[in-house]
Amino acid sequence: MRTVERTVCDPNCHANPKCGLRATVENGRIVEIGPADYPIEGFENRICLLGRARLEQHEHPGRLTKPLKRVGARGAGEWEEITWTEAARLFVTTHKRIAAAHGERSVSFQQISGAYGLLTRNSPVRYASLTGATVIRPSGIDFGVAKGLEAMFGIPASTYFSPGGHSHDDAINSELTIIWGGNPAVTKRVDQVALRRARKAGTMLICIDPVQSETAKMSDEWISLRPGSDGALAWSLVHQLISTDRFDVEFVSTHTNLPFLLDAEAATVMCRDTEPLVWCAARNTAVPVSAASEPVLRVDRSLDGRRIVSVFSEIERLAAQFSADAAEQLTGVPADVIESLATRYIEADPAAIRIGYGVDRWYSADLSARAIAMLACLGGYIGIPGGGVSLEGGNQSLPIKTARFAMPGQRRPALLSMMEADSAVIDGTPYPVKMTCISLGNPFNQVKPNRNRVLTEHIAGLDFICVIDQFMTDTAKWADLVLPSCSIFEKDDVVVDRFVQLQQRIVEPVGEAKSDFEIFRLLAEEYGIGEHFSEPPDVYLDDILDGDSPQLVDVTMERLRREKVVFPWPTNDPYVGFRDRVFLTPSGRIEFFTEHLRAYGAELPYFREPIEASPEHPLFERFPLVLLSSHSRHRIHSTFANLEMTKRSEPEPVVRVSPRDARTRKIRDGEIVEVVNDRGRVAIRCAIDETIRDGCVLIREGHWIDDFIEGDPYGLTHDQHSPTTENYAHYDVLVELRRIP
Q: Given this model, what pLDDT does residue 168 score?
A: 93
For 418-553, where are the E strands, in sequence order?
435-439, 464-469, 481-484, 493-496, 500-503
**Taking the CA atoms of the chain, what radius of gyration do you get in angstroms?**
26
User: Please, are residues 471 and 63 in contact by the beta-carbon 8 Å criterion?
Assistant: yes
Q: Given this model, what pLDDT does residue 398 score?
A: 86
Among 340, 324, 364, 355, residue whose Cα is nearest residue 229: 364
Task: Measure CA 100 to chain center.
Answer: 36
For residue 81, list its beta bridge partners. 68
User: Please, are residues 10 and 116 in contact by the beta-carbon 8 Å criterion?
Assistant: yes
Alpha helices, DSSP H, located in 103-229:
118-131, 144-153, 184-187, 193-200, 214-218
Q: Given this model, what pLDDT does residue 519 score?
A: 98
Q: Both ends of the chain: CA-CA distance in Å?
A: 62
Query: pTM for this one?
Result: 0.96
Distance CA(1)–CA(6), nearest Å, equals 17
Q: Given this model, what pLDDT does residue 548 score?
A: 77
Q: Given this model, what pLDDT does residue 12 score?
A: 87
The side-by-side arrangement of strands in the sheet containing 275-280 is 271-272, 275-280, 285-288
User: Please, are residues 282 and 293 in contact by the beta-carbon 8 Å criterion?
Assistant: yes
User: Please, are residues 113 and 442 in contact by the beta-carbon 8 Å criterion?
Assistant: no
All domains in the chain, ordered by first residue: 2-58 (2.20.25), 68-102+116-135+413-566 (3.40.50.740), 145-153+160-393 (3.40.228.10), 618-739 (2.40.40.20)
Give the three-state DSSP class for 49. helix
Distance CA(665)–CA(671), nearest Å, equals 12
Residues 6+ apart with CB under 8 A from 449: 714, 717, 718, 719, 728, 729, 730
User: Please, are residues 218 and 209 in contact by the beta-carbon 8 Å criterion?
Assistant: no
Among 175, 154, 174, 179, residue whose Cα is nearest residue 164: 154
Give residue 380's region: left, alpha or beta (phi > 0; psi -120 to 50).
left
Residue 347 burial (CB count, 10 A): 12
Distance CA(296)–CA(283), nearest Å, equals 11
List per-block mean pLDDT (blocks of 10 residues) for the chain, which spans 741 residues.
Answer: 94 89 95 95 89 94 98 96 98 98 98 93 97 94 95 95 95 98 89 90 97 96 98 98 97 98 92 94 91 92 91 98 98 98 97 96 97 98 98 88 91 94 96 98 93 94 98 97 98 95 97 98 98 97 88 93 95 95 97 96 97 97 97 90 92 97 97 97 98 97 96 96 93 96 80
Give the three-state DSSP class for 548. coil
Q: 192 vs 16, 41, 383, 646, CA distance in Å?
A: 11, 17, 22, 21
Q: Given this model, what pLDDT does residue 689 score?
A: 97
Q: Given this model, what pLDDT does residue 741 score?
A: 80
Q: What's the number of CA atoms in the CB half-sphere (13 Å) around residue 563?
A: 17
For residue 269, list its beta bridge partners. 262
Q: Given this model, what pLDDT does residue 642 score?
A: 94
Alpha helices, DSSP H, located in 270-416:
311-319, 324-331, 335-347, 365-378, 402-406
Q: Given this model, what pLDDT does residue 190 score?
A: 85
Q: Given this model, what pLDDT does residue 242 score?
A: 98
Q: Given this model, what pLDDT does residue 717 score?
A: 97
Among 739, 731, 658, residue whose Cα is nearest residue 695: 658
